[in-house]
Amino acid sequence: MIGTLIGVLFVVIIVGLIWWAIMQIWPVIAQYLAEPFRTIAYVILVVILVLIALWVIIQLLAAAGVHVPIMNLR
């Protein structure tokens, strides 16, 4: 379980680093987009980053034996 907590900590650090890198290059990308598309692209980036972080954390918890209920879409 301690290994899982360390893994979650690493995930948070890596996601924070990726977010920082995206925010550093965002002005270069955003200057070529009109305002509504800039906002849409920003929201999509946030949603994708959150989903990836949640998926990795759920996988780490599952590997540690913690049951995480997930809705089955089938």
pLDDT tens across 56-67, in order?
888 888 888 877
pLDDT digits (tens, 9 = 90+) for 39-49: 998 899 999 98
Q: Which range has the top average pLDDT, 5-9, 32-36, 54-58? A: 32-36
pTM: 0.71
Report, as an integer, the average pLDDT of 6-32: 88
Do 18 and 67 meet the contact criterion of CB atoms below 8 Å apart? no
Tokens linked to 49: 């980053």
Q: What angle do CA 14, 20, 25 make, to 5 degrees?
A: 130
